[in-house]
Amino acid sequence: MRIGIDGRKIPEAKARGPVGTLDHAKSLGMEGVFFRTILDVSPNLDRAVLREVRQRADELGLYLEAGLGKVNPFALPETPEIRQIGDGDTLLGFRKMMEACAEFDIRELWISTAGIKPYRGRFTTDRFRTDVAWEDQLEATRRFMMKLKPIALDLGIHMNLETHEEITTFEILRLIEAVGEDVVGIVFDTGNILIRGEHPVYAAKRIAPYVRQTHLKDGYVELIDEGAYYQQRMCGSGVVDFKAVFTELNKYNPDLTITIECDTPRLGALKGEPHFLEIYNPDWIAGHPDLSREEFAAYFELARDYTDRIHKGMVKSWQKLHAENFEYPEAIQAIAFSKQHIEGICKELGIKRGTGAHA
């Protein structure tokens, strides 16, 4: 396994630009950079820029990954740059991005079904939209992905659906079955699944054969009377058992790239509560028909044990974390902490660093 970092969230990404971000990642001991979309590298798909980034990544010995964007037609208006790159033709926009990626040998491409929203509770995600049912959104996503399939086959690339905040692993697996695993895989975000009430190890066992990219982060889950709070945390400080997760992933893809999705620096105290999960709400429960009692019980036990640690002062509460500074030095320290935790697990499991092969 090779350990890299998110090209959008690494500190100073915008100021440094894509080439500077590669250099920055290398200076932090990273082995790759995962830019969220190819338009993050070059908004107009400038071949000179893409060539420079590809060459610099190769010179530094870094893996280079990127993505496309949202493939849920009901969410696509949130990313007008995709339609713009196709001169008004959304499908052409995707084709142009896919062709640019293939031209520079970026073959594993991130996609998602929606984006997080600044609302409380279940309306944080598009899963609970009241203007269009989630089932209709999934069907529209399937139809659109079928339009992208021949392009992907022709170019020899994989589109990898992220385990994003709004979608379950069960639904992603059904989309893979419907569209075809020859062109669709998974970006395993180890934190997002907690928002959907899924247990990280159960989820890993379900999806491991299809995981081709990762967004690695830990999760804070605190039970409260009304439900639970979720917050992203650095690897090794939350509820995710990365040893068990890596054991599953390594069975199927020992050369998997491990991308740390870090927190971006901020100025001053952080305001507002974390994600509020309505896990006791009948509408929330009904919206997760695939989630078994066994898995949810395991999830609840995981959250209960972690909540006990919070109350005993063994884990920083979200209120304490929000009150602390988190500027460039703290962000870099958090990245180093995550990297060290992952490296320790690789060593414990006998996974050779850099290649993923067993030592």
In a domain? residue 357: no
Query: Cα(322)–Cα(67) distance, rounded to whole angstroms?
Result: 31
Ramachandran assignment for 69, one of left (phi > 0), alpha (psi -120 to 50 degrees), beta (any other): left
DSSP code string of 277-303 = E-TT-HHHHHT-TT--HHHHHHHHHHH
Output the CA–CA distances (angstroms, integers) from residue 244 to 52, 202, 252, in the order listed. 38, 10, 14
The mean pLDDT value of the chain amounts to 96
In a domain? residue 355: no
Query: Cα(336)–Cα(11) distance, rounded to whole angstroms?
Result: 13
Instruction: Dump pLDDT digits (tens) for 298-336.
Output: 999 999 999 999 999 999 999 999 999 999 999 999 999
Query: Cα(79)–Cα(89) distance, rounded to whole angstroms?
Result: 13
CB of 340 closer than 8 Å to CB of 258: no
CATH number (domain holding residue 132): 3.20.20.150
Instruction: Dump pLDDT digits (tens) for 173-212.
Output: 999 999 999 999 999 999 999 999 999 999 999 999 999 9
CB of 58 closer than 8 Å to CB of 24: no
Output the CA–CA distances (angstroms, integers) from residue 11 to 4, 136, 146, 332, in the order listed. 14, 38, 36, 8
Output the CA–CA distances (angstroms, integers) from residue 330 to 34, 179, 265, in the order listed. 21, 42, 8
pLDDT of residue 63: 97
Angle at CA 152, nearest 5°, toward 146 and 155? 155
In a domain? residue 171: yes
Sheet containing 218-224: give its strands across: 218-224, 227-233, 275-277
Instruction: Determine the structural domain holding residue 128 and report its residue range.
Output: 2-219+232-269+328-349
In a domain? residue 318: no
**Up-side HSE of residue 82: CA atoms within 13 Å toward CB?**
21
In a domain? residue 90: yes
In a domain? residue 133: yes
In a domain? residue 323: no
CB of 223 closer than 8 Å to CB of 309: no
Tell me what percent of the residues of the chain surpass a pLDDT of 70.
Answer: 99
Instruction: Dump pLDDT digits (tens) for 146-182.
Output: 999 999 999 999 999 999 999 999 999 999 999 999 9
What backbone phi and psi angles, to 5 degrees, belong to 78?
A: -75, -15
C-alpha closest to that of 164 among 32, 67, 82, 65: 67
- How many separate domains does the chain show? 1
In this predicted structure, which of 159-168, 263-272, 277-286, 341-350 has the lowest mean pLDDT? 263-272
Q: Is the pLDDT of residue 358 over 60?
A: no
pTM of the full predicted structure? 0.96
Output the CA–CA distances (angstroms, integers) from residue 274 to 284, 307, 357, in the order listed. 18, 15, 38
In a domain? residue 291: no
